[in-house]
Structure 1
Amino acid sequence: MNRPVKFLIIRFSSIGDIVLTTPVIRCLKEQYPNAEVHFVVKKKFRQVVEHNPYIDQLHLLDNNLKELVATFKNEHFDYIIDLHKTLRSYLLRFRLRRPTLTFRKLSVEKLIMNRFHVDFLPKGIHIVERNLKSVEPLGVKNDHKPVDYFISPEEEVPLSELPVLHQKGYVAFVIGGQHFTKKLPAEKIINICRTIDKPIILLGGPEDAAVAKIVAEACDEKIYDACGKYSLNQSVSLLKSARSVIAHDTGLMHISGAFNKPIVSVWGGTSAEHFGVWPYLNTRQVIAEVKGLSCHPCSNFGLSACPQKHFKCMREQDEDLIAGSAVSMFNETSLTE
């Protein structure tokens, strides 16, 4: 019997970026003979991949790279696949001294796009495709399937636990976002929610609870505030059960692609063209983005404040487009399910 070929895939963070590596994990496991797939991620993001059946062994980084190196030296990996390409991942590769495959990070091209608004990034090539190119030398091909996300049965939130109004269908509104320039102002969220004539569940973390409270108080009982009340995977369960989704550029936006959710993705300081939902050709998606701004995009990952002080990329978002698209998708999904 042939011995396993051991792979270590590195992607330490963050939620969305980890999710966008899952096609590599799946394709490698399914297409490479005797592949034994190990994956390393920061401990705080373990929920994102801990139930992934294509991962044979999950390793957690808890700010102690030296300890991780000692563990990995006993594993005798055949290949390292670095899908992060940071100083820390480079140090890990250097210490292990194993054959390494990696992807084009395009840091210079991104810097030019954000600083000078000149786009040298490859047209029509998604980050998922760039990730998959890292394993092409092994004969692994893009299977053109969605990203993966798996949760345990214990993490599924039964619809019967929701308010009665929401048990027959709802719009999931992901109001969170890691940075200010990725998020709609509270008054815009309120206006959109008031326009939607369907039940709505607000999704986000504890850091979004204050805004969620303001939105819920400004609207009626059609709002169910779930921000900070559920774990990440329980929130994913609620996303999975939604008829349609509205989301900022955040982890749950990318996770929606795993379930082929019809989605209105709302873009502020970051760009939908290169970092949108995958598979963007198969998912019903409306991209809400203010066109014609000379300052857009201003960053890859979002900023704590608008560099131009006007925040037009979010303040001028078309509320009727966002609300109307979400309702239209809701009605279409209701008819087909």
Structure 2
Amino acid sequence: MKEYKKIAIVRLSALGDIINSAVVLQFIHKKFPNAQIDWITEEVFSPLLKSHHLIHNVHIINLKKIKKEKNFLLLKKNISYLRSLGEFDIVIDMQGLLKSAIVSRFISKNTHGFDKESSREGLSSLFYKTTSKIAYEESIVKRNCFLSSDALGFELSDEMILNKKPIFEIKKIDFIDASKINIAFIIGASWLSKKYPKEKIIQLCNELKENSIIVWGDEDEKKDAEFICKHSSYASIAPKLPLIELLSLISSVNLVIGNDTGPTHMAWAQNIASITLFGPTTSRMIYETPKNIGIKSSSKVDILKINKNDFSIQDIEVKEIVSKAKELLNYEI
């Protein structure tokens, strides 16, 4: 097996994808304990990655800012910075988009990524020295794990993923009452059609009759959280939390119920029981385990052409979620 001393991972966004990519760190470290692992990402996600004990350096680029401001000078500065990082034995592009492939190539010629058929943007494969082939329909977590192990030349099994350690080392948050059964509800999402209705979350809180913590991200979500708390005596609103404290909260509860979004994926990352609700997306977005499950609406999904007007998540029955939640809580407690 080839020895790797300096490895770079490119995963720029989004939160859930970064979480589902970071699982590979523990497996890479086990095979190459002396390797330096650097990560390239957007600035907003850097606090989460900088706290990871297996990451040597986090390098920040600002592609979103460049795109928004059309700032050529900032683009030039970012390119110069990437080229100044020094030589890596390998750069693994875990995003598989044209922009991430170009970023990878600016860092080094020793790039590895998904092949043309395995990537959402097939042109990205033109920028890689070597590639991996895995079905695009496969679980995102399994794709990430296969890509990294294939790139570095070692085997990574389902059993290893199932028995993973929590991805992030974090302190449990102190405002959680450990004497209660605590359920975190993740009510936000990047699209409206990915959100489970707040009225049904109220029903869930009232049916489960446990300490329900409503997690929100922006002002609209805060209003929904306040509405839920007003109509359920079991619900309380979480404070506004930065990424590290949000991860701490998720790591401290008994169960997470939420939409297909980053904070919900944190539960799987930290080995916390979870139920992820899917409407316009599918369970390929998670890695299902006995205590991390997905509930999908009846709609058919074309993963190559997601329909953001698919609001079928609203049709998922409260009683189905309650039943699964009780099973998971009995499994955990």
**Is the 8 Å Cα contact of residues 169 and 243 (structure 1) preserved in structure 2?**
yes
Q: How does 1:48-127 map to 2 (within 5 A)?
A: 48-63=48-63, 64-74=74-84, 75-104=86-115, 105-107=118-120, 122=135, 125-127=138-140
Letter in 1 for 2:301: P
Q: How does 1:1-337 map to 2 (within 5 A)?
A: 5-32=5-32, 34-63=34-63, 64-74=74-84, 75-104=86-115, 105-107=118-120, 122=135, 125-135=138-148, 136-142=150-156, 144-145=160-161, 146=164, 148-150=166-168, 152-153=170-171, 156-158=172-174, 161-162=175-176, 167-207=179-219, 208-220=221-233, 222-226=234-238, 229-272=240-283, 274-276=284-286, 278=287, 280-281=288-289, 283-291=290-298, 293=299, 296-297=300-301, 306=309, 311=311, 313-334=312-333
**Is the 8 Å Cα contact of residues 103 and 133 (structure 1) preserved in structure 2?**
no
Measured after TM superposition, the shift of residue 269 of structure 1 is 0.8
How many angstroms apart in 2 are the aligned matches of 1:171 and 1:41?
31
Moved more, 24-33 or 72-81: 24-33
**Is the 8 Å Cα contact of residues 202 and 225 (structure 1) preserved in structure 2?**
yes
Structure 2 unmatched ranges of 5 or more: 64-73, 123-133
Measured after TM superposition, the shift of residue 148 of structure 1 is 4.8
Measured after TM superposition, the shift of residue 54 of structure 1 is 1.4
Letter in 1 for 2:97: T
Letter in 2 for 1:72: L
**Is the 8 Å Cα contact of residues 8 and 79 (structure 1) preserved in structure 2?**
yes
Structure 1 unmatched ranges of 5 or more: 110-120
Letter in 2 for 1:194: N
Q: Deviations over 1:153-206 (max 9, x none)?
A: 4xx421xx35x6x75221111111111111112212222222111111111212
By relative contact order (CA 8 Å, sep 6+), the higher-ranking structure is 1
Measured at CA, do residues 39 and 264 of structure 1 come closer, stay the same or move farther in structure 2, by a change above 3 Å? same
Paired residues in the alignment total 301
CA RMSD of aligned residues (A): 2.8
**Matched residues, percent identical?**
23
How many angstroms apart in 2 are the aligned matches of 1:141 and 1:22?
17
Moved more, 12-21 or 189-198: 189-198
Tell me the TM-score normalized by structure 1. Answer: 0.79
Measured after TM superposition, the shift of residue 238 of structure 1 is 1.7
Measured at CA, do residues 333 and 97 of structure 1 come closer, stay the same or move farther in structure 2, by a change above 3 Å? closer
How many angstroms apart in 2 are the aligned matches of 1:80 and 1:245?
34
Measured at CA, do residues 23 and 332 of structure 1 come closer, stay the same or move farther in structure 2, by a change above 3 Å? closer
How many angstroms apart in 2 are the aligned matches of 1:152 and 1:255?
12
**Is the 8 Å Cα contact of residues 42 and 61 (structure 1) preserved in structure 2?**
yes
Tell me the TM-score normalized by structure 2. Answer: 0.80
Measured at CA, do residues 53 and 324 of structure 1 come closer, stay the same or move farther in structure 2, by a change above 3 Å? same
Q: Deviations over 1:12-31 (max 9, x none)?
A: 00111001111333322321
How many angstroms apart in 1 are the aligned matches of 2:49 and 2:303?
27
How many angstroms apart in 2 are the aligned matches of 1:123 and 1:302?
14
Alignment partner of 1:134: what SS? Answer: helix
Measured after TM superposition, the shift of residue 299 of structure 1 is 5.6
